Amino acid sequence: MNGKMRKYIAYIIATHMFAALFCFTALADGEAVFRIDMDSLNLQTGMSGNIVVSMTNAQGAKIAGIEGIENFDILSQSQSSVTSIAGGVSEYRDELYYTVMPKAAGQFSLKAYIEYDGQIFETNSLQLNVGENAGNQDEEAAQDLFIKTIISHEEAYIGEKIVLAYELYSRYSIDSYGFTADFAMDGIVARQIPDNQLKSEHVYIAGERYAVYEVKKLVIDPIRTGEYVIAPCNFQVNVITNRSGGFGGFFRSTTPMYLQTEQKELNVKPLPSDGKPADFSGIVGNLQLESRYSRDELDYGDSLALYFSLSGICNLDPLKNNVIGEIAGFSVYETQKNAAESVEGNLYHVKKDFEAILVPERNGVLEISPIFVTYFDPVSEKYEKAEIPGTAVTVLGDMPQPNSGGIIQSSAGEALVINQVKYEEENSRYFAFRIKKEAAYIALAASAATIALFAVLAKSLAKKKKRDPKLKSIYGKLAGAKDIHETYGLLNSMLKHRYGFSIKASSKNNVKDSLPDEDLASKALEVMDYMESAGANERSSQKYLKDKIRGIYRSICKNEAQATYGAREN
């Protein structure tokens, strides 16, 4: 290579190095760029959107404010920074992300103001159109993801029980969902239907297949009259965006999406005073009554039973055990046998069964008059009566007659001595009772057994109450899990709640260290091995996995009970 050629090559290299250095220096001192963008400029009420504010080549820049953001609720926000080099050009960019929910329909604009290098800069302006969400009202215009708010009564009388339900409709694959806040309203007592009683199904809307999930059901009981507003609630859905990796696509990513429930209004009216019976039971609703007597003929000294049940779309809370009251000619011993509540077709149903033992006080034909239970029917808007029909009962045999010596002579000639009560003449202010020793011993033994039984029951109830309700709720979802990934996710939720670690993101050593005993750790590791093995693809894997997780749940409850007992001992 001659000298001229060497000089030419050196010139070329120097020229390229200078150009590269010039480009890098120019970028380092390049003009800052600020932008605001959104994933969609056409939104709907009740559905979230995502805003991103980007600041390029402006290290240290801060957002001074966003014009128009007051028309949206900010549900979440995050930030990321990235430096990229492409074609010898370097770029630094800060991005701030906002998940927002429109407060109302209308036309809105968004513009961000950025504070940088002692000055205020403006981004571009976005023009947004927010329409009314038709997903709750017009199924023909349903979106791929929406939530319905269903209330059994928008107008009710005080004393009626009302069902408030939320149903999620989705065409996406969903990882999890939940409300961002618990339900609470002044003037209303609410009871949530357990999660394991909620159902899911598939329906077709405008020819498209949707999965429908009952995400929450509440039985609400207003305690005063007036207008109630059931406010909108924010609801988060984690949608599966992609799956990757082996083991049936076990590794997957999710994207949170937010929905807002529909506002509902409830008008609770007072019961009318006109026509209100003096013996009004307090029952409000559509009441049905069924009854029967066990027999209509018996011997004196024996008893018969009256069985009756009250049921319907009504509120039986005001009903006390003494439903039938007194019956002339009988001693009455009444008990409630069974009670069952349910929600069918988003309407509250209840049924209570009763039994009354009737002991005749004399012989002969005894007439039992009809027995009425008064209630208010919201449909007819009148006070009604449910009837237990009357009957005639024949009591056979003669009544025992006492003689002058305190002896009762029965019709069979058997002498019955009444010696339980003795009136002491020397002190008329007191009664003296004489009870056989055998009877007293039996009574004392029965009392001791009853006290012991109540102690056992109280201890059992105390243990049940101390169980972790959230852990029990998570476990209750196990029966409805659709696949092994959902099943494994419930185990992950149980361990994360109880012991504070994720089995999905932990090594085997970490699992061993995080669990309180070797037996529980061994069971958890067995599930981990199973999920990582080819066996997880077998058809029988779902049942196998659920059985294993049930065993883990029992071990967790056992450890919890032992910890509670140990704390008491100490």
Give me the DSSP letters along 19-64: HHHHHHHHHHTPPPEEEEEES-SEEETTB-EEEEEEEES-TT-EEE
Q: What is the pLDDT of residue 401?
A: 67
Q: What's the pLDDT tens digit per position in 36-46?
A: 998 888 888 87
What is the percentage of the chain residues whose pLDDT exceeds 70? Answer: 76
pTM for this entry: 0.56
The yes-or-no verdict on residue 552 having pLDDT over 80 is: yes
b/e per residue 478-504 (b: at least 16 CB within 10 A): beebeebbbbbbbbbbbbeebbebebe
SS3 of 171-193: CCCEEEEEECCCCCCCCEEEEEC
Q: Coil, strand or helix: which one is 66?
A: strand
CA distance 177 to 475: 16
For residues 163 and 219, the answer to whether their CB atoms sit within 8 Å is yes
At residue 104 the predicted structure's pLDDT band, cuts being 50, 70 and 90, is confident
Mean pLDDT computed over 541-566? 80
Q: What is the pLDDT of residue 159?
A: 94
369 vs 542, residue with greater confidence: 369
Q: Please give the angle made by the CA atoms of 404, 407 and 410, to the nearest 5 degrees.
A: 115
Intra-chain end-to-end CA distance of the chain, in Å: 92
Burial of 90 (0-12, 13-18, 19+ CB in 10 A): middle
b/e per residue 295-319 (b: at least 16 CB within 10 A): eeebebeeebebebbbbbbbbbeeb
The yes-or-no verdict on residue 350 having pLDDT over 50 is: yes
Q: What is the pLDDT of residue 396?
A: 95
Burial of 33 (0-12, 13-18, 19+ CB in 10 A): middle
Q: What is the pLDDT of residue 417?
A: 42
Q: What is the pLDDT of residue 161?
A: 95
Torsion of CA 197, 259, 497, 491, to 10 degrees: 60
Contacts of 523-528 with C-beta under 8 Å, sequence gap 24+, read: 523/548, 523/551, 523/552, 523/555, 524/491, 524/495, 524/552, 527/488, 527/491, 527/503, 527/552, 528/503
Q: What is the pLDDT of residue 113?
A: 94
* Contacts (Cβ under 8 Å, ≥6 apart) of 29: none
Backbone angles phi, psi at 163, to 5 degrees: -105, 125
Q: Which of 201, 58, 164, 69 is nearest to 126 (CA)?
A: 69
DSSP tag of 398: P
Q: What's the pLDDT tens digit per position in 185-198?
A: 899 999 999 998 99
Between 8-22, 360-374, 491-505, the lowest mean confidence (pLDDT) is in: 8-22
At residue 378 the predicted structure's pLDDT band, cuts being 50, 70 and 90, is very high
Enumerate the β-bridge partners of residue 127: 109
Highest mean pLDDT among 212-221, 425-434, 465-474, 522-531: 212-221
DSSP tag of 484: H
The yes-or-no verdict on residue 535 having pLDDT over 50 is: no
Mean pLDDT computed over 266-295? 95
At residue 400 the predicted structure's pLDDT band, cuts being 50, 70 and 90, is confident
- CATH class for the domain made up of 139-269: mainly beta
Between 4-13, 109-118, 290-299, the lowest mean confidence (pLDDT) is in: 4-13
Q: What is the mean pLDDT of the chain?
A: 81
CA distance 119 to 9: 47
CA distance 448 to 453: 9
Provide the token pair at 263.
């506002």
Which amino acid, residue 226? G
The yes-or-no verdict on residue 395 having pLDDT over 90 is: yes
DSSP tag of 140: G
Q: Which of 119, 73, 89 is nearest to 27 (CA)?
A: 89
Compute CA 425 distance to the chain's CA centroid, rounded to the nearest angstrom: 68
- CATH class for the domain made up of 33-131: mainly beta
> Which H/E stretch holds residue 214?
strand 208-222
Backbone angles phi, psi at 529, to 5 degrees: -60, -40
Mean pLDDT computed over 380-395? 95
CA distance 250 to 91: 35
Q: What is the pLDDT of residue 565?
A: 53
What is the percentage of the chain residues whose pLDDT exceeds 90? Answer: 42
258 vs 529, residue with greater confidence: 258
At residue 23 the predicted structure's pLDDT band, cuts being 50, 70 and 90, is very low
Q: What is the pLDDT of residue 354?
A: 94
- Kindly give the pairing relationship between strand 297-299 and strand 391-396: parallel
For residues 93 and 75, the answer to whether their CB atoms sit within 8 Å is no
- Helices 484-499 and 469-476 cross at an angle (nearest 10°) of 170
At residue 92 the predicted structure's pLDDT band, cuts being 50, 70 and 90, is confident
Mean pLDDT computed over 20-29? 42
Q: What's the pLDDT tens digit per position in 110-169?
A: 999 999 988 999 999 999 998 887 554 445 456 889 999 999 999 999 999 999 999 999
The yes-or-no verdict on residue 563 having pLDDT over 50 is: yes
279 vs 25, residue with greater confidence: 279
At residue 75 the predicted structure's pLDDT band, cuts being 50, 70 and 90, is confident
Q: What is the pLDDT of residue 375?
A: 96
At residue 534 the predicted structure's pLDDT band, cuts being 50, 70 and 90, is very low
The yes-or-no verdict on residue 538 having pLDDT over 90 is: no
Q: What is the pLDDT of residue 467?
A: 61
Q: Coil, strand or helix: which one is 259?
A: strand
SS3 of 99-128: EEEECCCEEEEEEEEEEECCEEEEEEEEEE
Q: What is the pLDDT of residue 470?
A: 84
Q: What's the pLDDT tens digit per position in 359-368?
A: 999 999 999 9
Provide the token pair at 543.
């049942």
For residues 191 and 184, the answer to whether their CB atoms sit within 8 Å is no
Longest alpha-carbon distance in the chain: 155
At residue 81 the predicted structure's pLDDT band, cuts being 50, 70 and 90, is confident
Which amino acid, residue 85? I
